[in-house]
Amino acid sequence: MTDAAPTLADPSTPFAVLDIEKARRNAQRLTARLAGQGVLLRPHVKTAKSVPVARLMLDGATGPITVSTLHEAEAFADAGYHDILYAVGIDPHKLPRVVELARRGVVMQVLLDTLAQARAVTEASTRAGVTIPALIEVDCDGHRGGVDADGAALLEIGAELARGGDLGGVLTHAGESYFAATPEARRDAAHHERDVAVHAADRLRAAGHDVATVSFGSTPTAHAADDLSGVTEVRAGNYVFFDLVMAGIGVCDVDDIALSVVVTIIGRTPSGDLMTDGGWMALSRDRGTAVQERDQGYGLVADLDGRMREGLLVTGVSQEHGIIGARDGAEVPDLPVGARLRILPNHACATASQHDGYHVIEGGTDVEGAIAVGDHWERLRGW
Amino acid sequence: MTDAAPTLADPSTPFAVLDIEKARRNAQRLTARLAGQGVLLRPHVKTAKSVPVARLMLDGATGPITVSTLHEAEAFADAGYHDILYAVGIDPHKLPRVVELARRGVVMQVLLDTLAQARAVTEASTRAGVTIPALIEVDCDGHRGGVDADGAALLEIGAELARGGDLGGVLTHAGESYFAATPEARRDAAHHERDVAVHAADRLRAAGHDVATVSFGSTPTAHAADDLSGVTEVRAGNYVFFDLVMAGIGVCDVDDIALSVVVTIIGRTPSGDLMTDGGWMALSRDRGTAVQERDQGYGLVADLDGRMREGLLVTGVSQEHGIIGARDGAEVPDLPVGARLRILPNHACATASQHDGYHVIEGGTDVEGAIAVGDHWERLRGW
C-alpha cells in the first residue's frame, strides 16, 4: 500500500466500486456499434445517475441524455446538459417542474401515451409560453406502456399535440428483449422495435404531422441492431456498467461488468458458508438472474483485484448480512475474518441505487499489488 | 385542501408516508406486551433509521437502542443516545469507529462469534483504554451466524474476552421465526430462542464469567414470548411499521401497517392494467410474500385515505414504473391519469430504505377529506 492513495482495502465496507477502464470500454463499444448507422446516441443516465459517468458515456459532451426522474433532469441541467428526454410517462402534477426546466433553456422532452396527458402538456406549455416537445410512446412488445402503432389513439394524440403543443415524435422500448437469450432473438427484437417505431412515425406523417424524432432503445436491442433505417436516436443505459443479467443473455461477458461491491468477511455460518457485511442494503434485493438459465444468487464473487472466485456466489442476504456459498462441488475457501471480496451484481441499476457514490478505480495495481482508489463519484438519489 | 398544510395530493410522487398514529399504536403494543416480563426493550432502529421514530418507539427516552450500521450508531450518538448495540458481527477494520464512540462516552456494545474478532476487540479496547462490551452471538436456528450453545467456541471466546476485554453477554436472533406462520410456531420459536440464549449464558457462568446481558429478539418472537425468564433484553425493529410479510404470518393485520408509498397513475398497459410512477426504486425489489401462502406481489393497494382497494396489487415493477393488476376476479378500476394511490410494502425495512425520509400523517382528514401532511422526518443512509 502506498501513502499516496487509498486502496480497496481502506474504505469502510460495504462500498460500491466502479472500474472506469471497463466502463469506458463498454461505452466505446456501443458508440462504435452505432457509428455509421446515422443515429444519435442519447444515453440513459438512470443506471449510473452520475454526471462524471455520463461524461464518460458521451466522451465529454454534455448531452443529449435520457433521464428517469425529474430530479435527474434538474441535476443534469445544473451540470450544463440542455437536451433531455424524461422517458417515464408524464404525471400532469409534475409539469410545473418541466416548465421550469424549459424556461431555463433546456430542450425538455416528455413522454406520454394518453390523450389526457397530451392535453395537460399542451395546456401547461401554452399557459407558460414554452415549448415542451412530447414523444408518443408506442408499444412494441406488450412489456409496459405505449399505444398500439396501428390504433386510433396514436393519431388522436398526435392531432391533439399538433393542435396546441409540440409533437416531437415517437418512442419505443423493447423491454422484453432483456429476456432474449440469443443473438438472433435480440436481432429480431431490434428489427421489430424499429419496424413498430417507424410504422407509427409514418402513420403520423401520413396524417400530416412532422415527426422529427423516432427514438428506439434498450441495451439488448441497441447492441443487436444492424439496420436502424428510419430511427433517429438510440437510448440505452445499462451498457456502461453491464451486469450478470446482461452477461446471462450474452450481451456482455462477466469480465465486462464495471460495477461491484466490496464486502468484508465477518464470520462463518453454522453450515460453513462465509458471512459478510454485504446484505441487501448493499447489493439490493434484485434477483434478475433467477429467471435465467444460470441463477447467480445475489451475485458472483471476485477477489479484491477482480479475479473471479469460481464456484462461489452470494446465496442469501438479510439487511446487513450476506452469505457466500459454493455450487457445482466447489469448496468454500477458509477466508479469515477481515478479508475482503468484491460482489458482481445481478442488476447494476438496482445495486448502484443502494449507494450514494462510486469509489473509482482504473485498472492497475500499485507496487504492493493493491488497487488504488481515485475519486469518489457522487450518485443522484430521489425524485 | 386547506391553505394550512399540504395533503397527500401535493408532494411530487413517489414518496413514503408514515402514519404515526399506527406507528405509535404498534410501539405501544410491544411495550405493553413486555411490561411486567422483567426485560429491557432495546428497539432496533434499522427499519426506520430515523431519530423521531426511535423517540416514538421509546416514548421519548434516548435509548437503549440496537443499530445495524456504525453510521446509525454515530448519528444516534449525535442525537443523545448513549447505550447502543451494533448487532452485526464486528469487522475488525471498523473498530476505530467503535473506539471513537466509546471515547465519546457511549456504551458501545459489539457482537461477535469468532476468536479472531474477540482478539481484535480486546486488543483495540486495551490499546485505546476504553471499554467495549462484546456480546457473543449464539445460533438458535441455523438462520445466520452464531456459535453453537453447546460447543467449545462459546467458552473459548468467553475466556478470551474475560482475559483482556469485556464479556458483555450473549445474543440470539431467531431469523427463522419470520417464516413461522402460526402463533404456536412462533411461541415455540420464542421458547427455543430463550432456552438457547439462557443455556449459553449459564455455560459461561459455570465457567466463572459474569454474564450481564442475555439479548433476545426478532419481531415475531418478541410478540410471541410469554415467558422470558433469564432473558435481560428484547430486540425488535420491524414492529413499529409492520408490513405484508408480518401480516402474512399473522403477527399484525394489514390495517396495522404504518408505512406506505404514494404513487400516481400515468397510464394503462396494453392489457388494461394500471401504470404508475412507483417502480422498484420507490417500492424496492423485496418480494418477501412470494414464499407465503398469499403472494402480495410488490404490494397491496389503498386509496389516499388508506382504505384498501380489495383485489388490487402491484404485479410488476421496473425502475420507475409500477403495474397494478387485479386478482380473484376483481376488476381493475378505470382510474384517470393523475389519480394517486398508496402502496403497502412487502418488507418495510427494504421499502423505507428506498426513501430519504417520511411524510408524516396522523390519521384524520381535513374539512375537504384530504389527509394533511405534517413534518418530513429524515432517514439515515449509508454505512
CA–CA dist B275, B314 (Å, integer): 10
Give contacts of A336 with chain B, Cβ < 8 Å.
Answer: 116
Average of per-residue pLDDT across B154-178:
94
B315, three cell numbers: 404485479
Q: Is the pLDDT score of B245 beyond 50?
A: yes
CA–CA dist B303, B8 (Å, integer): 11
What is the pLDDT confidence band of residue A142, given thresholds at 50, 70 and 90?
A: confident
Please name the member of B264, B287, B321 whose beta carbon is closest to the beta carbon of A144.
B321
Spatial neighbors of A199 by CB under 8 A, at least 6 apart, are A149, A150
Average of per-residue pLDDT across B237-242:
97
pLDDT at B183: 93
Residue A160 has φ and ψ, to the nearest 5°, of -60, -45
The stretches of chain B forming alpha helices (DSSP H) are: 20-34, 51-57, 70-78, 95-103, 115-128, 152-164, 183-206, 219-224, 244-249, 280-283, 348-352
Average of per-residue pLDDT across B240-263:
97
pLDDT at B329: 83
pLDDT, one tens digit per residue, over A162-179 is 998 899 999 999 988 889
Q: How many residues does chain A have?
A: 383
Please name the member of B14, B90, B267 whose beta carbon is closest to the beta carbon of A89.
B267
| Average pLDDT of the residues of chain A | 95
pTM reported for the whole predicted model? 0.96
ipTM associated with this complex: 0.96
Spatial neighbors of B135 by CB under 8 A, at least 6 apart, are B85, B109, B110, B111, B112, B168, B169, B170, B171, B213, B215
pLDDT at B1: 42
pLDDT at A367: 66
pLDDT, one tens digit per residue, over A239-268 is 999 999 999 999 999 999 999 999 999 999
Interhelix angle A152-164/A183-206, nearest 10 degrees = 50
What is the pLDDT confidence band of residue A194, given thresholds at 50, 70 and 90?
A: very high
pLDDT at A366: 67
pLDDT at B4: 65
Average of per-residue pLDDT across B51-58:
96
- Of B27, B19, B22, B25, residue with least CA distance to B45: B27
What is the pLDDT confidence band of residue A365, given thresholds at 50, 70 and 90?
A: low
Average of per-residue pLDDT across B83-93:
98
In DSSP notation, B116-155 reads HHHHHHHHHHHHHT----EEEEB-SSSSS--B-TTSHHHH
Q: Is A100 helix (H, G, I), strand (E, B) or coil?
A: helix
Give contacts of B46 with chain A, Cβ < 8 Å.
Answer: 319-320
What structural domains and CATH numbers belong to chain B?
44-236 (3.20.20.10), 251-378 (2.40.37.20)
Contact flag A93-B280 (C-beta cutoff 8 Å): no
Does the beta carbon of B243 lie under 8 angstroms from any beta carbon of chain A?
Answer: no
Average of per-residue pLDDT across B229-251:
97
CA–CA dist B169, B189 (Å, integer): 21
What is the pLDDT confidence band of residue B171, given thresholds at 50, 70 and 90?
A: very high
Name the more confident of A367 and B294.
B294
Q: Is B8 helix (H, G, I), strand (E, B) or coil?
A: coil
A269, three cell numbers: 455460518
What percentage of residues in chain A have a pLDDT greater than 70? 98
Burial of B320 (0-12, 13-18, 19+ CB in 10 A): buried
pLDDT, one tens digit per residue, over A43-87 is 999 999 999 999 999 999 998 999 999 999 999 999 999 999 999
pLDDT at A177: 87
Q: Which neighbouring-strand residues pair with B358?
A: B377
Angle at A173 between CA A170 and CA A176, to 5 degrees: 150
Average of per-residue pLDDT across A133-141:
96
pLDDT, one tens digit per residue, over A316-327 is 999 999 999 999
pLDDT at B3: 57
Q: Is the pLDDT score of B375 beyond 80?
A: yes
B369, three cell numbers: 377529506
Phi-psi domain of A259 (left: phi exceeds 0; alpha: psi -120 through 50; beta: other) = beta
Does the beta carbon of B208 lie under 8 angstroms from any beta carbon of chain A?
Answer: no
Within 13 Å of residue A307, how many CA atoms lie on the same side as its CB?
5
> Which residues 94-153 in chain A show a CB within 8 A of chain B?
94, 97, 112-114, 116-117, 120, 139, 142, 144-146, 148
Identity of the residue numbered A363 = G
CA–CA dist B10, A301 (Å, integer): 44
Q: What distance in Å separates residue B271's CA from the closest CA in chain A?
A: 8
